């Protein structure tokens, strides 16, 4: 734990890469673009999964599992979707290896085991799922279908970064089928709200809910709802999306239902997902130059107790106090660990727990025994205070709520300070260059203007916000009329 | 729900296939050998996952995630393991599709996007994980590493069957690294015991713990521990395995550690796994001609309440009683559903819940309102009784325990009745043909005899049991000396 991170101000990107590894979250594997998610990183992902899963189930969704592979002909059925992902597809062409006739200890792909039809490793599962739903849906009685899947997907990205962009990643993908357009739109909106709720109340990440412009929409969607977060370096990060797919997939896969009046119609669809990318959002919202900062709701270990001692007698007495606190805090469902390793010094342990983002660290030493106190350090503010031993069980849960709240408020304040209204393209460029963050500007609604601004500034329209006042104005680039301001930013 | 299953006595295999689909557990997908796990099947798998995950964590294991793909050169590093799986490997050779120049709506694999090195879709993860552990292990301080992964794996099987043998399946795979042989052996044994405990106490499936013969061992293992269960048709099913891998993978991947005395040595390894195959074991242990039978511990819905009424007034009164019971039972953490659908008749609902294995069904009709009773039907025995409404909350939890216990005892009795000691090869063949089940026989310990018996009878040695008395004797086939009886059976 001697290694210090590159400070954020010096090189934010380097800081991020170093932190992910130093905090034991993930590392690059020797498989191009694929990461290994280490136990500490995975434990945080599990906390996200559990919470999201509960939220999905509470709104009537059930989990299922669909195949990893999609036959090429099935994949290409919905053309826009297929075209959108074609350039990133890992393709299975053979199903067997055999001994290399020239080197018995090596294996070669058996040329005789070529598949008749290539299989695509799913980059997303609309095709395979709609092909399956076709067999499940005959009448309105079979609707709605509200299914979620936890899975790995593969998108062959050329430039990868741990959690943010990897060839393989973990995610959940919801896929629902409805009898009416209204119901499907409501579902897509509801899931986007659930994502926003999860990001803000559970992860402490303030987000803006909006819809994507046509050019930023999911391939095959009629409308893409999204939540957009702001990272500490002023770049935006898309943290979740929810798509209203219209009847596109139902038409491509011929999925019709008979209504209660006996009429036949195509089914209406949504899909929605968040991924391990959220880990990147988490890191870049809260962490500091000392390492990861975790909101208590996501911390696998919420409180760590480190004993400080010189003699064995001291050790025993300190341990007795510590174990008593462990027992009492666990009764309150607080995840607490007594770090009693004798292979590391207290200083080393402090640095490690700080790097890994444990929200509260309690140190107990010989002087604390005399005074009946413990030293409590908050990871979010780095503040240290002394607390009477008998107050710990009462105060720590309150401290947890405070930290959770503080992290969100701190991030919201930063985010709010980095939404800048601009009214000219000069101002646009200046703010983007000097301040970063979201730029709230009028736009004429055309893909052409969007594309030109992107080419000139690298900023894209992150979303057309759903909340707030709709103020009319003139496009910052063309001067043409605009119905409302949209949010531009450079993005991850 | 009008469809009846083929009776087990008529065609067990057909009954199984029909049940899996009729109970909404899974179905074949259009992707060769890959299944779709439907919500009801997946909900049962989730219950298994949750329980196993808790048991793994309680014994000091943590979850992580490693890449789906294994480069071919990495895959072939441990030769025995590579050879064992080579014939079943799905291979990714390309990473991009492009528009078919001859048909713009079709896609073809882009020949220019050929990978320099082929990627194997993991059939198991020893290779990728030991390649990773190499970077994590320097000294004894880094040991033990005790990691589990929940993942999908692919083994290209030619003949597939839902849950029992599919090209893609879901599983967990534990991979641990230890400083000493003893510790690794203990770990492998401990995990096999955890599997046995889980199978018996949670799934209600009696199992025999044993070790595999050399020819049945995992490719690359020095010892394979296993749990073997007996299905209703007299065939055995391997329900979980735990491997002591010796230093095979450490040597192949050059993973050494420095001991506290400063000596260098290779690390000792284990791996262990159970898969969605357990769903097959569950079905073929407990179910009957009416459909799935679930032990309460695994039932997504433990109690279903079906209202019976003709008038709206009756409906309201019945619903009031039902909802009161729902509320009270939920407080006891019993998973209860009020099936208030108005699109289906009570008879249809009864058949559906029976098919899906709900342990307890409560029906409430107008007569029950008069008498203050409910009708309670047990899925395991199909027995129906009347119960006073005020007794339900007290008695249902007891009933749950009874059903859980009864299913295990029933299966154990069947299993015990189907372990037959034989002392001649004639007897061996007769019992195998007429009775089935496990045949407890002496064997001379040679792979040759094992192979000959397999060729002549299709029975294999399921395991060398770890428990029970070790009686010496003479091989049932060759007459050569034998140290203990082993268990033969035909197997899934």
> How much is the pLDDT for A21?
97
Q: State the pLDDT at residue A163.
A: 98
Shortest Cα distance, chain A CAs vs residue B96, angstroms? 5
Burial class (CB in 10 A: 0-12, 13-18, 19+), A279: buried
- CB contacts, 8 Å: A143 with chain B: none
Residue A240 has pLDDT above 60, yes or no: yes
To the nearest whole Å, the CA of A335 is away from the closest chain B CA by 14
Supply the pLDDT for residue A123: 97
Residues A386 and A376 sit within 8 Å (Cβ to Cβ): yes
> In whole angstroms, what is the distance from residue A165 CA to residue A32 CA?
12
- Cβ neighbors of B261 (< 8 A, separation 6 or more) are none
| Residues of chain A positioned with their CB less than 8 A from the CB of B42 | 62-65
Q: What is the pLDDT of residue A406?
A: 98
Give the nearest chain A residue to B71 (CA atoms).
Answer: A31
Residue B15 above 80 pLDDT?
A: yes
pLDDT confidence of residue A468 = 85
What pLDDT is attached to residue A316?
Answer: 97
Please state, in angstroms and rounded to a whole number, the distance separating the CA atoms of residues A370 and A274. Answer: 51
* Mutation for A interface: B24, B48, B65, B330, most A CBs within 10 A: B65
Distance from CA of A66 to the nearest CA of B (A): 5
Residues of A in contact with B83 (CB under 8 A): 99
pLDDT reading at B1 higher than 70: no
Q: What percent of chain B has pLDDT over 70?
A: 100
pLDDT at A117: 96
Identify the bridge partners of residue A461 per DSSP, sorted by sequence position. A488
CATH architecture label of B301-399:
3-Layer(aba) Sandwich (3.40)
- CA dihedral (B177, B224, B152, A36) in degrees, to 10, reads 10
Per-residue pLDDT band at B162 (split at 50, 70, 90): very high
Comparing CB atoms, the residue among A67, A98, A119 nearest residue B86 is A98
Point out which residues pair with B482 in neighbouring strands.
B473
Q: What is the pLDDT of residue B104?
A: 87
The strand pair at B268-275 and B236-246 is best described as antiparallel
pLDDT tens digit sequence for B187-244:
999 999 999 999 999 999 999 999 999 999 999 999 999 999 999 999 999 999 999 9
Nearest to B74 among A30, A72, A99 (CB): A30
Q: Is residue B216 classed as helix, strand or coil in its secondary structure?
A: helix
Q: Does pTM top 0.90 for this prediction?
A: yes
CA distance A269 to chain B (A): 18
- Sheet with A373-378: list strands edge to edge: A336-338, A303-307, A360-364, A373-378, A384-388
Topology (CATH level 3) of domain A12-286: BirA Bifunctional Protein; domain 2 (3.30.930)
Q: Do A36 and B64 touch (CB under 8 A)?
A: yes
Question: How would CATH label the architecture of A301-398?
Answer: 3-Layer(aba) Sandwich (3.40)
Tell me, what's the pLDDT at A7? 98
Closest in A30, A43, A72 to B131, CB measured:
A30
CA–CA gap between residue A132 and residue A117 (Å, rounded): 19
| CB neighbour list of residue A202: distance below 8 Å, 6 or more residues apart | A48, A51, A295, A297, A298
- The ipTM of this complex is 0.97
Mean predicted lDDT score pLDDT of chain A: 97
Name the residue facing B67 among A36, A65, A96 (closest C-beta): A36
| Nearest CB partner across the interface for B65, out of A42, A68, A88 | A42
Whether A265 contacts A256, CB under 8 Å: yes
pLDDT value for A343: 85
Q: Would strands A69-71 and A268-275 be described as parallel, antiparallel, or unpaired?
A: unpaired
What's the residue count for chain B?
A: 492
If phi over 0 gives left and psi between -120 and 50 gives alpha, with beta otherwise, what is residue B167? alpha
- The answer for residues whose C-beta is within 8 angstroms of residue B110's C-beta and 6 or more apart is B94, B96, B97, B98
The chain B residue lying nearest A35, using CA atoms, is B67
A457-461, B7-11, B101-105: which has the minimum mean pLDDT? Answer: B101-105
- Dihedral of CA B308/B345/B297/A49: which sign? negative
d(CA B231, CA B163): 14
Q: Are B305 and B339 in contact (CB under 8 A)?
A: yes
CB B132 to CB A29 under 8 A? yes
Tell me, what's the pLDDT at A3?
73
> Does residue B386 carry a pLDDT above 60?
yes
**Cα gap B243→B224, rounded to integer Å:** 4
pLDDT of residue A442: 98
d(CA B400, CA B293): 13
Gyration radius from chain A CA atoms: 26
Task: Kindly report, residue by residue over A277-328, the tens digit of the pLDDT.
Answer: 999 999 999 999 999 999 999 999 999 999 999 999 999 999 999 999 999 9
Question: Mind listing the pLDDT tens digit for each residue in A350-366?
Answer: 999 999 999 999 999 99
- Examine the pLDDT at A235 and tell me if it is beyond 80: yes
Mean pLDDT over residues B367-384, rounded? 97
Question: How far is residue B289's CA from residue B92's CA, in Å, rounded to a whole number?
Answer: 43
Q: Which of A132-136, A268-272, A342-346 has the lowest average pLDDT? A: A342-346
φ/ψ of residue B190, rounded to 5: -60, -45
Domain extent listing, chain B: 12-286, 301-399, 419-489
Q: What pLDDT is attached to residue A395? A: 97
DSSP E strands: which ranges in A344-466?
360-364, 373-378, 384-388, 419-421, 438-442, 460-465
- Res A104: pLDDT: 87
pLDDT tens per residue across span B291-317? 999 999 999 999 999 999 999 999 999
Going along A206-311, which residue ranges are E strands? 208-211, 223-230, 236-246, 256-258, 264-266, 268-275, 303-307
Calculate the CA dihedral of residues A447, A449, A452, A458 and round it to 10 degrees.
-80
CATH number listed for the domain at residues A419-489? 3.30.110.30
User: With bands split at pLDDT 50, 70 and 90, how would you rate the model's confidence at A158?
Assistant: confident
* Mean pLDDT computed over B324-337: 97
- Verify whether the Cβ–Cβ distance A95 to B89 is below 8 Å: yes
């Amino acid at each position: 734990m001697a290694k210090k991170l590159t400070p954020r101000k010096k090189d934010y990107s380097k800081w991020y890469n170093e932190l992910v590894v130093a905090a034991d979250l993930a590392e690059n594997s020797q498989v191009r673009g694929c990461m290994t998610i280490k136990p500490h990183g995975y434990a945080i992902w599990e906390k996200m999964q559990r919470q999201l899963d509960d939220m999905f189930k509470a709104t009537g969704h059930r989990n299922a599992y669909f195949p990893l592979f999609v036959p090429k002909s099935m994949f290409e059925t919905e053309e826009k979707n297929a075209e959108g992902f074609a350039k990133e597809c890992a393709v299975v062409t053979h199903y067997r290896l055999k001994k290399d006739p020239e080197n018995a200890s090596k294996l070669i792909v058996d040329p005789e085991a070529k598949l008749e039809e290539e299989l695509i490793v799913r980059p997303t599962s609309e095709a395979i799922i709609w092909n399956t739903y076709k067999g499940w849906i005959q009448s309105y009685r079979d609707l709605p279908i509200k299914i979620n899947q936890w899975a790995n997907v593969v998108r062959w990205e050329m430039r990868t970064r741990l959690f943010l962009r990897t060839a393989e990643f973990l995610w959940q993908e919801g896929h629902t089928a409805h009898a009416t357009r209204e119901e499907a739109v409501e579902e897509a909106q509801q899931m986007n709200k659930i994502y926003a709720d999860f990001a803000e109340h559970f992860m402490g990440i303030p987000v803006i809910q909006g819809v994507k412009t046509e050019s930023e929409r999911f391939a095959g969607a009629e409308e893409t709802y999204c939540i957009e977060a702001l990272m500490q370096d002023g770049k935006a990060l898309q943290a979740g999306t929810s798509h209203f797919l219209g009847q596109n997939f139902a038409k491509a896969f011929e999925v019709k239902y008979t209504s209660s009046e006996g009429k036949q119609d195509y089914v209406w669809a949504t899909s929605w997902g968040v991924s391990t990318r959220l880990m990147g959002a988490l890191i870049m919202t809260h962490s500091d130059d000392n390492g990861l900062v975790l909101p208590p709701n996501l911390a696998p270990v919420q409180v760590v107790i480190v004993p400080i001692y010189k003699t064995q007698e001291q050790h025993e007495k300190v341990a007795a106090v510590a174990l008593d606190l462990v027992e009492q805090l666990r009764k309150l469902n607080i995840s607490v660990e007594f770090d009693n390793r004798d292979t590391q010094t207290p200083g080393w342990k402090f640095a490690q727990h700080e790097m890994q983002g444990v929200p509260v660290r309690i140190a107990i030493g010989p002087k604390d025994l005399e005074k009946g106190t413990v030293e409590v350090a908050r990871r979010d503010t780095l503040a240290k205070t002394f607390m009477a031993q008998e107050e710990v069980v009462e105060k720590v849960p309150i401290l947890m709520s405070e930290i959770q709240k503080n992290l969100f408020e701190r991030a919201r304040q930063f985010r709010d300070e980095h939404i800048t209204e601009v009214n000219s393209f000069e101002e646009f460029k200046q703010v983007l260059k000097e301040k970063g963050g979201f730029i709230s500007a009028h736009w004429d609604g055309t893909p052409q203007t969007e594309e030109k601004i992107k080419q000139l500034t690298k900023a894209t329209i992150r979303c057309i916000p759903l909340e707030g006042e709709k103020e009319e104005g003139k496009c910052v680039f063309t001067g043409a009329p605009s119905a409302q301001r949209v949010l531009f930013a450079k993005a991850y």
